[in-house]
Structure 1
Amino acid sequence: MTNPRPHHRYYDLLLASFVVVLLCSNFIGAGKAAEVDLPYFGKVVFGAGILFFPISYFFGDILTEVYGYSYDRRAVWAGFAALAFAAIMAQIAIALPVAPGSYMASYQQGMEVVFGNSWRVVLASMTAFWFGSFANSYVLAKLKVWTEGRFLWLRTIGSTAVGELIDSSLFYVLAFYGIWPINEVIAVALAQYILKTSWEVLATPLTYQVVSYLKRKENQDYYDIHTNFTPFRLKV
């Protein structure tokens, strides 16, 4: 007789929140380029989604820290599937014949601008998310075991630094190499990496509060000592 799967009061809510943030940051924020004037860097152009995409790493850190790598792995695959479905749905909706009228013609143009990203950009985004998220979760899980559960700030910031480095590097190289000058690809990727990682540093006090609350309410503080870290499974 196998042991029943433990019931977690908040896991499903965190999973749904993770997927919502991921979809919104990729399909709403990514369509707008914004500009900010930073010390030492000057004016930096970035996608508006950068302000919100790091929240997915915030959820990933919490899921791994409280429930373990396997639960975050399931969340990553759920997010990946949601991104794939949204990308396919967007392309189908854009390709459907447009009804007569100036309003629908204008609406079609808006859809093409916001959701008509090239497949190269879409695939780059999904690939970068997949590798970056799994790297983030793996590093955090390993650091938790090595530090014996101490230095939460080190685990969350360190894992995010690794995950975001992989994410930013892969996305901009896969999406824009050969289109933008290589020095521009590197400069933009570096700026995005700094912005994303800085978000995690600023969110550290909130991370402590949420993690502490969930561990207490769920009576759960998982250590990935005997975990199978292959990303290619859904079992928890």
Structure 2
Amino acid sequence: MNRPIRQYKYLDLVMVAFVTVLICSNLVGPAKAAQLDLPLIGAVTFGAGVLFFPISYIFGDILTEVYGYAYSRRVIWAGFAGLAFASIMAYVIVALPPAPGWPNQAVYETAFGSTWRIALASLIAFSCGEFVNSFVLAKMKILTAGKHLWSRTIGSTIFGEAVDSALFYPLAFWNSGIMPNELVPALMLSQFLAKTGVEVAFTPITYLIVNKLKKAENEDWYDRQTNFNPFKLDPRD
């Protein structure tokens, strides 16, 4: 397919927002365990990043729905590069010898000292989950003839988050000594449900942004002849 290249008004801003949310959710959120008392459920403990990481999937939905899979693919790789760079920088800075008398090394290591295994698991899970999310949404858009946006955003997130959770938690924690193996499946399920719940809750906002972007960009792309190879970067494919 030789898709014509267009200059979009807001594509670069959406990409920056996607990468920013992704890096913040992976570097800021996981360091804190939070607890909320919910009606009928009681106390629920979760990693704080679960509140923000699903927003990257929302941006992925917006990108694919408006601009198509090829542009979303480029943004996903930009996010992968940004996350990889941030992880490497965090590792290097934590490893630097602290100045004599500086009292915060232990705190810094707790906040930013993810092991190589967790960082690698995050990169693998993110890239696979995001590509599945984008692929499913693009195909569902054709199947639904562009109707019922909610079914695509929620449906694609279910598949994407399922892949993400199924990869990240075993790769990061199975036989790691950080937590018992028997807790890993329960953590996978709880995080999957929580992340999908955030997507459902944000559906009205997704509708609002998608509709405004389609009108502003004069674009509503259907991936009928798109090459879905995730390793291509040319948006004309």
* TM-score grouping bracket, smaller chain normalisation: over 0.9
| Counterpart position of 1:70 | 70
Give the CA deviation at 1:96: 1.6
CA distance in 1, matches of 2:3, 2:158: 36
1:1-236 equivalences under 5 Å are 5-38=5-38, 43-101=43-101, 104=102, 106-178=103-175, 179=177, 180-236=179-235
Give the match's secondary structure for 1:46.
strand
Give the CA deviation at 1:46: 1.4
After TM superposition, the score normalised by the length of structure 1 is 0.94
Give the match's secondary structure for 2:34.
strand
Query: Aligned in 2, Cα 1:145/1:198: closer, same or farther, shift over 3 Å?
Result: same
Give the CA deviation at 1:4: 6.0
CA RMSD, Structure 1 to Structure 2 (Å): 1.6
Give the residue type in structure 2 aligned to 1:205: P
CA distance in 1, matches of 2:32, 2:202: 24
Query: Aligned in 2, Cα 1:156/1:3: closer, same or farther, shift over 3 Å?
Result: closer
CA distance in 2, matches of 1:213, 1:68: 16
Of all paired residues, the percent bearing the same amino acid is: 56
1:147-206 CA distance string (max 9 Å, x none): 111110000000001100111111111111123333311111111111100111111111
Give the residue type in structure 2 aligned to 1:52: F
Give the match's secondary structure for 1:8.
coil
Give the match's secondary structure for 1:34.
strand
Query: Aligned in 2, Cα 1:121/1:185: closer, same or farther, shift over 3 Å?
Result: same
Give the residue type in structure 2 aligned to 1:151: H
Give the match's secondary structure for 1:97.
coil
CA distance in 1, matches of 2:119, 2:19: 16
Give the CA deviation at 1:5: 2.0
The one of the two structures with greater contact order (alpha-carbon pairs below 8 A, sep at least 6) is 2
Give the match's secondary structure for 1:44.
strand
Gaps of 5+ in 1: none
Give the match's secondary structure for 1:81.
helix
CA distance in 2, matches of 1:165, 1:62: 19
Does the Cα contact within 8 Å between 1:44 and 1:191 map onto a contact in 2? no
Give the CA deviation at 1:43: 3.8
Query: Aligned in 2, Cα 1:76/1:11: closer, same or farther, shift over 3 Å?
Result: same
CA distance in 2, matches of 1:42, 1:121: 30
Give the residue type in structure 1 aligned to 2:231: F
Of 134-143 and 111-120, the range deviating more from structure 2: 111-120
CA distance in 2, matches of 1:210, 1:22: 19
Of 138-147 and 91-100, the range deviating more from structure 2: 91-100
